[in-house]
Structure 1
Amino acid sequence: MKVVNALDEQKSELEQQGEQEHQEQNQLTENKTGFVKMKKFHFIMMLFFIVFLSAGITAFSLSFGDEKVVTVGTERSEFNKLYMAYDTLKGQYFEGLDQTTLINGAIDGMVKALDDPYTDYMSVEEAKSFHNSISSSFEGIGAEIQEKEGQILIVSPIKGSPAEKAGLKPNDIIVSVDGKSLQGMTSTEAVTLIRGEKGTKVELTIQRAGSDAPIKVPIIRDEIPIETVYGEMMEDGIAKVQITSFSTNTSADLVEMLNDLQKQGMKGLVLDLRQNPGGLLEEAINISSMFVPKGKMILKVEDRNGKIKEHPSQNDGNPNFPLVVLIDKGSASASEILAAAVKESAGVSLVGEKSFGKGTVQTAKDFQDGSNIKFTTAKWLTPNGNWIHKKGIQPDVEVTLPEYASLSIINPEKELTLSSSSTEVQTAQKMLKAIGYDPGREDGFFDEATQEAVMALQTAQNLPVDGIIKGETTYKLMELLREQIQKNDTQLQKAVELLIEQMK
């Protein structure tokens, strides 16, 4: 109120001066020069008062008026436009707006403007899901996803997860979740819709390359334990270890697994990184150091200024057994770091298919309210300086799985029965033939021969024998197909052949 008081004081002074002028004029002084000087003086004072009054009123309106001037951005002029947009919407939008929603939207907009599928702003709920993904367990369907060109793609289902059991595969496009389109969503927004409590149902609409139409896939969510290392002894002293992701304890679990396998007589190792979507960079470096000789390069990290930080092996990574590594199009990020490191710095052969191609490094910064921002900080290069981003790593020996390994999914809630005709019937016929129940045809028409093949399957699996593919019959059909793929794993077979040659 200091401005108001100053104005009142000036008004009082003006009134006194006006009264004095009136008295002086009534005196009719004969000194004309003096009269003119006095009039000039009062004219100047009047101008001074008008200027002062205008300045005072302006200051008052800026401080207390309806239209406020934002002073927050005076030191960061590049934000003036942002502040103006915020104030305009907050003050003039036809409905009341929530301040937090506007601010979160502004941050999200900045992130989306980067056009980087690996950089996300996460709400409090989304941030919780993100942190859970590298913890001991979480509840959901168990699939790593990624946003690419406005679509949500599956990078890889987690071993033994509901997603794997439902038949989801790398590069499947998730069109919608419970009928809600994912078009234009970030991966973290999609994760929020897909995840949920154990025992609850979620329906994904999936588009797979080679399929004519999207397929609805109902999945019952479950607890997804982050057990990342699986090992087994095979014939001829060869062991197979699968790493499904790089989580907090993966390197420690791998050491324990390898020690146990060596006690069982391991002479050669197949390290399976197929459908491994990646994870923690530190874990990838630790595991690479187990197989890369000390001092040899694991990877190089290049920052925005082109400065390169090298990461050589710190351990004596000279295993006393030969090694072959399996990769495929679901091998991404940290699994590609490991594959490139052993290939270029330890001469290890890679078998399978070209990997996914993710060559950037991300970090996460938490905000005080629990939300966070995950953003790309650098790109990583292979030991030889190659950037595999969007290119992938080519295996030394390229081997594909049998054609039936890429068959599409069948919706277990859809009934396939005699005289029906569809692409799903055709998929079912190919599955039946792959597992040993020949339907006689594979053109998508459900005839008597197909019905007989279905009934034979149901009889062998102790299912209700009605010749209809639906529900438990569909699940069992896809389960037996997965088992057949594992039995006829051409990539693993080739890796074993190479190991046997090395062991001679």
Structure 2
Amino acid sequence: MFIKRRTLVIIILASVFSTCLITLAGAKLYGQAWGQQAPVSSMLNAGNSAQTSADIKKMYEAYQLIQSSTLWKVDKSKLIDGAVEGMVKALDDPFSTYMSKKEATDFRSSLESSFQGIGAEVALKNGKITIVSPYKGSPAEKAGLRSGDQILKVNGVSLDGMSLSEAVTKIRGPKGTKAELEIMRTGLQSPTNVVVVRDDIPLETVYSDTVVKDGKTFGKIEISQFAEETAKQFSTELKKLEAKKIQGLIVDVRGNPGGLLNAVVDIGKMLVPNKGTILQVQYSDGQKEEFHSTLQQAKYPIVVLADKGSASAAEILAGALQDNGYKVVGTQTFGKGTVQNTLPLKDESQIKLTIAKWLTPDGTWIHKKGITPNVKVEQPDYFNAAPLPAGKELHKDMIGPDVQNLQLILKGLSLPTDRSDGYFDNGTEQAVKTFQGQHSLPQTGKVDRKTAQALQDALIKRIREPQNDLQLQAALQVLAHSTK
């Protein structure tokens, strides 16, 4: 797909953990074709200034001093990698990163139809490795990880001060291996440990179904991320729904961390009516480009479901539909309004730089703000319950945030306790016994590893039941009202 100033490059941003991105590569970036690197000499000559020469000389002097004077023996390649990484860090942009040759190789190996890991997308937010969204059905989701969780440690190793790519290396791993994550979640007084067993993660990105409300049939398409085949899959599923004579459509991008710009543009062309604007891209020189739909007329009302895990390309679609007259239901989105370009270096390492920002059709930059829904709906409190701690038994007379979280889970499973303040009283013990009896577990009243896993599985099942999804129910109400 070719556009006036830039060529969209197909890169699947679906590694075990990567930043939530929109990738745009430039045919004219830095005067070079995509995939090529200007010789160092030509880049220096391009500046053609005494200052440039002085800067390079300073870097070389520092390199020589370290090599000749330091007590510690340092591999030359590590010094160079550290220098380049330092320059990128100086940008103070969480979405600009440097990947060494090994890290770049690992990243490219994750661009397959499936990969092995825990199945979640993260970004570096406020200096912390933060989950944007776990993939649907992934080990991360099954373990109870949620959007906004901060990953502090992996198997006892602190991620503090690590770059995103370094943290990715610690988190990912072969199928069947365990990643013990220390996570911090809003509302918790202290971190909790979660064990996630890595597995094969297939990159299925589009799921569709029909929902009946007030005698009317509506279509629902969930997009988990925007990958290479997403637009094609979306087109196929949309045609299936339209063949069933749907009277409205719900587009669910909750927990969608983003992905490819060309994928979301192609989907926007199928949904945005009256050949409307899908988005604008503004480059560093101030020039803008607009992307437009090819759809002539609206076929039926549309509602978008979005939440704080909806980022980047997901926000493009939500913003495009909102600015073209449709409603967004849910909560404020993530707020990622920049575009990245990955540039390879000669030694097969690579630099990912922010090279543009994208704007909604009306020209709004949503970066660090997100998209405000037309209909704000919060999910029940138990949707945000933290995973129970791994390897820690909870029992009567204990007190603390883990017990308080247990009480929230029990409430979500319709097993309310006498208290919710974190004290494991008789009522909490009886609720645990009742749950154990319902699931053929020994009725000890203690939350051991097996009971904790059963509670987690039951909670996820409860969350997935449509009648408990208050945001989905609100979206259906909006559609039902729109088709009267």
Provide, for residues 381-407 of structure 1, a one-character-per-residue CA deviation record: whole Å limited to 9, x for no partner.
Answer: 111111100011101111111122222
**Per-residue deviation at 1:210?**
1.3
* Aligned residue runs from structure 1 range 8-407, under 5 A: 76-77=52-53, 78-235=55-212, 236-293=216-273, 295-313=275-293, 315-316=294-295, 318-344=297-323, 346-407=324-385
C-alpha separation in 1, matches of 2:209 and 2:316? 24
**Per-residue deviation at 1:228?**
0.6
C-alpha separation in 1, matches of 2:397 and 2:475? 44
C-alpha separation in 2, matches of 1:270 and 1:211? 33
Change (3 A) 1:294 1:135: farther
**Per-residue deviation at 1:372?**
1.3
Matched, 1:452 2:430: yes
Unaligned runs of 5+ in 2: 1-42
C-alpha separation in 1, matches of 2:303 and 2:340? 29
Matched-pair contact (CA < 8 Å) for 2:315–2:333 = yes
**Per-residue deviation at 1:90?**
1.6
**Per-residue deviation at 1:97?**
2.7
**Per-residue deviation at 1:288?**
0.9
Change (3 A) 1:317 1:167: farther
Matched, 1:499 2:476: no
C-alpha separation in 1, matches of 2:442 and 2:301? 49
Change (3 A) 1:260 1:101: same
Question: SS at 1:254's partner residue?
Answer: helix
Question: SS at 1:290's partner residue?
Answer: helix
**Per-residue deviation at 1:131?**
3.1
C-alpha separation in 1, matches of 2:222 and 2:252? 4
Q: What is aligned with 1:433?
A: 411
Provide, for residues 121-160 of structure 1, a one-character-per-residue CA deviation record: whole Å limited to 9, x for no partner.
Answer: 0123322343355431111111111112221111111111
C-alpha separation in 2, matches of 1:184 and 1:305? 33
Question: SS at 1:232's partner residue?
Answer: strand
C-alpha separation in 2, matches of 1:399 and 1:94? 60
C-alpha separation in 1, matches of 2:122 and 2:87? 22
Change (3 A) 1:341 1:134: farther
**Per-residue deviation at 1:95?**
3.4
C-alpha separation in 2, matches of 1:329 and 1:468? 34
Matched-pair contact (CA < 8 Å) for 1:134–1:247 = no
Question: Highest CA radius of gyration, 1 or 2?
Answer: 1
Q: What is aligned with 2:399?
A: 421
Question: SS at 1:491's partner residue?
Answer: helix
The TM-score with structure 1 as length reference comes to 0.82
The TM-score with structure 2 as length reference comes to 0.85
Q: What letter corresponds to residue 259 of structure 2 in structure 1?
A: G
Matched-pair contact (CA < 8 Å) for 1:351–1:494 = yes
C-alpha separation in 2, matches of 1:80 and 1:124? 25
C-alpha separation in 2, matches of 1:135 and 1:176? 27
Question: SS at 1:463's partner residue?
Answer: coil
Change (3 A) 1:317 1:295: closer
Q: What is aligned with 2:38?
A: none
Question: SS at 1:80's partner residue?
Answer: helix
**Per-residue deviation at 1:319?**
4.8
- By relative contact order (CA 8 Å, sep 6+), the higher-ranking structure is 2
Provide, for residues 431-474 of structure 1, a one-character-per-residue CA deviation record: whole Å limited to 9, x for no partner.
Answer: 11221223322222223332222122122112333222122211
| Count, aligned residues | 431
Q: What is aligned with 1:33?
A: none
Provide, for residues 293-350 of structure 1, a one-character-per-residue CA deviation record: whole Å limited to 9, x for no partner.
Answer: 354211111111111112122x226452221001111110000011111111x31110
Matched-pair contact (CA < 8 Å) for 1:125–1:192 = no
Q: What letter corresponds to residue 286 of structure 2 in structure 1?
A: G
Change (3 A) 1:433 1:96: closer
Matched-pair contact (CA < 8 Å) for 1:289–1:317 = no
Provide, for residues 330-373 of structure 1, a one-character-per-residue CA deviation record: whole Å limited to 9, x for no partner.
Answer: 110000011111111x3111011011100000011123433211
Change (3 A) 1:225 1:262: same
C-alpha separation in 2, matches of 1:205 and 1:246? 29
C-alpha separation in 2, matches of 1:132 and 1:228? 19
C-alpha separation in 2, matches of 1:306 and 1:133? 34
Matched-pair contact (CA < 8 Å) for 2:143–2:196 = yes
Instruction: Indicate the structure with greater helix content.
Output: 1
Unaligned runs of 5+ in 1: 1-71
Moved more, 288-297 or 382-391: 288-297
C-alpha separation in 2, matches of 1:129 and 1:437? 45
Q: What letter corresponds to residue 232 of structure 2 in structure 1?
A: A
C-alpha separation in 2, matches of 1:317 and 1:223? 41
C-alpha separation in 2, matches of 1:493 and 1:211? 28
RMSD: 1.8
